[in-house]
Structure 1
């Protein structure tokens, strides 16, 4: 049976995101890709937690790493007594899920589910490692399948021939969007802001789209307005770290300013993803990362000693700047997202 990562780019293949095998988790280091193809090897679940916190993997990558980290936790405690193993998995779930503050709600869905299947396997005399590993693969298949459905709805909104601007790295939707464009035989080229300081747009989004055969142009983060005007951009689209039920969109810092530009120039901003049930603006904590990541780039200091930096990792785009939220169930206004949950929804993560 074909896996859902068929025909996607190198870094979207399951084994190249995060992979548990023989008491270790191997994670593609997206901080250096594509300059270097390097994997970080984690020997404990706490190593996995730290790799997620250190941005070794980004976008949806941490969700896969978290599941594989839970399989590693099961390996670490395999010689303990039953109740000790159960407590070990519960504790690992809590620690891994808190690797990054903005995505705790989503990470808990993953790690708690992994703990549950692992504990069930233990009580039934089966391998919790295998159960958690398989649960993680099943989650990948489910997410890729549902994002493929999102991609159909998104690409239906694209012109037959046009230019699309992206933001940061939307992981699965980027590859699925590219695959769907080919299926619909549309001629689309992409403009990708670089996304300082980790350059996910330049290194990750542009790499995936180039791998899948598209014309891609990278711009710096202060060029979107002029590029929209001069290059005739037709659509701005991004994924989201959180789609709040009140229509606020939490995504990589810089998303809001491009949404403002899109509104000014009269082009649509389409957000892709699954709404986060019961998540509202007042629940959001914006992660502030090490300011040294702003005063330097690629390990090279760019400022005089004593100059300060400020690095909010995300910003919040209000619903009035969002043209539509594109989901696997259809296309919604940011003001009616509750309707998404009026039918029974399969767990996404």
Structure 2
């Protein structure tokens, strides 16, 4: 299966990090060149890339930081500050922290750029291999001819799920919510599934419960930006409503994440990002000064509405996630 373009949308080059601008995709395929760490951080904040995109952007940005640090009196301190800046761009998803750690943990001051590049490449391959395992475990849980409801853009998790299902001889069809206000489901998920040749139906965000009630889907499957050790699923705003509706209509909800976060014992340990309310108004074309916008970027689904958390080590009951780390070699 050929990979879709969004599976390789952040690239390192001699002149900087090149990021496919997801804000205008698929209408236009434009690449934003970031010559410095600060430009990468700003691109992440401005939603040039989302989902796993910031992870890869942070990996390659740390290589840029190593290039910059060669000219600094305290190169390791410079790298640490660069990492802190990148982590601060999006607080809810812990991918950025992992990307920065992947590079900082391998940096050798005697070969700053070379060691940073090796760490970034290892982090890239690790993320992709874990996504493949996650996709395979999720595919195992789906019926042979399955209709799936998904929300937002699950990125490599979704691509690897489709690939694994095909290897297993399973046929999947998807209903995708449009995912307001950035329309990641309409512009990224639906476009990529169609690119992969998967039967795809796009629905408005408000249609999810009706689709579940009508029995049009077998399973609700989403990615998770973070899963706490007590089983709370943190994901794009709107996931909670779909999970509650799925629970009401006895449709299983599978949340895909590479690993639960040991640094987040409970939902209270996950900072929820609130973006400017103007982003909601701008997307709607509303400009009246008397109208305010409210935009939490993520919501939290309690474990009672989650059937299974699927990880790169298999499927777990949301109340038994400690078992993930008991399997460590």
Q: Is TM (by shorter chain) over 0.5?
A: yes
Name the SS of the counterpart of 1:63 in structure 2. Answer: helix
TM-score computed with the length of structure 2 as normaliser = 0.95
| Whole-Å separation in 1 of the counterparts to 2:312 and 2:78 | 35
Q: 1:112 offset after TM fit, Å? A: 3.1
TM-score computed with the length of structure 1 as normaliser = 0.90
Classify 1:303/1:287 alpha carbon distance in 2 versus 1 (closer, same or farther; 3 Å): same
Q: 1:231 offset after TM fit, Å? A: 5.5
Q: Which runs of structure 1 show a deviation greater than 4 angstroms over 4 or more consecutive aligned residues?
A: none
Name the SS of the counterpart of 1:149 in structure 2. Answer: helix
Q: 1:289 offset after TM fit, Å? A: 0.3
| Whole-Å separation in 1 of the counterparts to 2:150 and 2:199 | 13
Contact 2:102 2:120 in 1 (8 A): no
For structure 2, the 5+ residue unaligned runs are none
User: 2:97 — aligned with what?
Assistant: 108
**1:326 partnered with 2:318:** no
**1:277 partnered with 2:262:** yes
Task: Kindly tell me the number of residue pairs found equivalent between the two proteins.
Answer: 327
Task: Identify the range of structure 1 (233-242 vs 68-77) with the bigger mean alpha-carbon deviation.
Answer: 68-77
Task: Identify the range of structure 1 (229-238 vs 189-198) with the bigger mean alpha-carbon deviation.
Answer: 229-238
Match for residue 292 of structure 1 among 270, 278, 284: 278
RMSD: 1.5
Contact 2:227 2:233 in 1 (8 A): yes
**1:117 partnered with 2:101:** no
Contact 1:8 1:176 in 2 (8 A): no
Name the SS of the counterpart of 1:296 in structure 2. Answer: helix
Contact 1:23 1:75 in 2 (8 A): no
Task: Identify the range of structure 1 (288-297 vs 307-316) with the bigger mean alpha-carbon deviation.
Answer: 288-297
| Whole-Å separation in 1 of the counterparts to 2:200 and 2:320 | 34
Match for residue 25 of structure 2 among 30, 33, 42: 33
**1:226 partnered with 2:175:** no
Contact 2:26 2:191 in 1 (8 A): yes
User: 1:52 — aligned with what?
Assistant: 44
Contact 2:272 2:297 in 1 (8 A): yes
Q: Output aligned runs, 1:1-349, within 5 Å.
A: 7-13=2-8, 17-81=9-73, 84-103=74-93, 105-118=94-107, 120=108, 122-123=109-110, 126=111, 128-230=112-214, 232-273=216-257, 274-279=259-264, 280-297=266-283, 301-302=285-286, 304-344=288-328
User: 1:3 — aligned with what?
Assistant: none
Q: 1:241 offset after TM fit, Å? A: 0.7
Name the SS of the counterpart of 2:146 in structure 1. Answer: strand
User: In the TM superposition, what whole-angstrom CA distance separates every residue of 1:254-295 from its partner, at most 9, and x where no partner exists?
Assistant: 000000110111110001111111312121221110111111
| Whole-Å separation in 1 of the counterparts to 2:317 and 2:240 | 17
Contact 1:286 1:315 in 2 (8 A): yes
Q: 1:89 offset after TM fit, Å? A: 0.8
Contact 1:70 1:92 in 2 (8 A): yes
Classify 1:188/1:116 alpha carbon distance in 2 versus 1 (closer, same or farther; 3 Å): closer
| Whole-Å separation in 2 of the counterparts to 1:188 and 1:117 | 40
Q: 1:158 offset after TM fit, Å? A: 1.0
| Whole-Å separation in 2 of the counterparts to 1:329 and 1:66 | 25
Name the SS of the counterpart of 1:117 in structure 2. Answer: coil
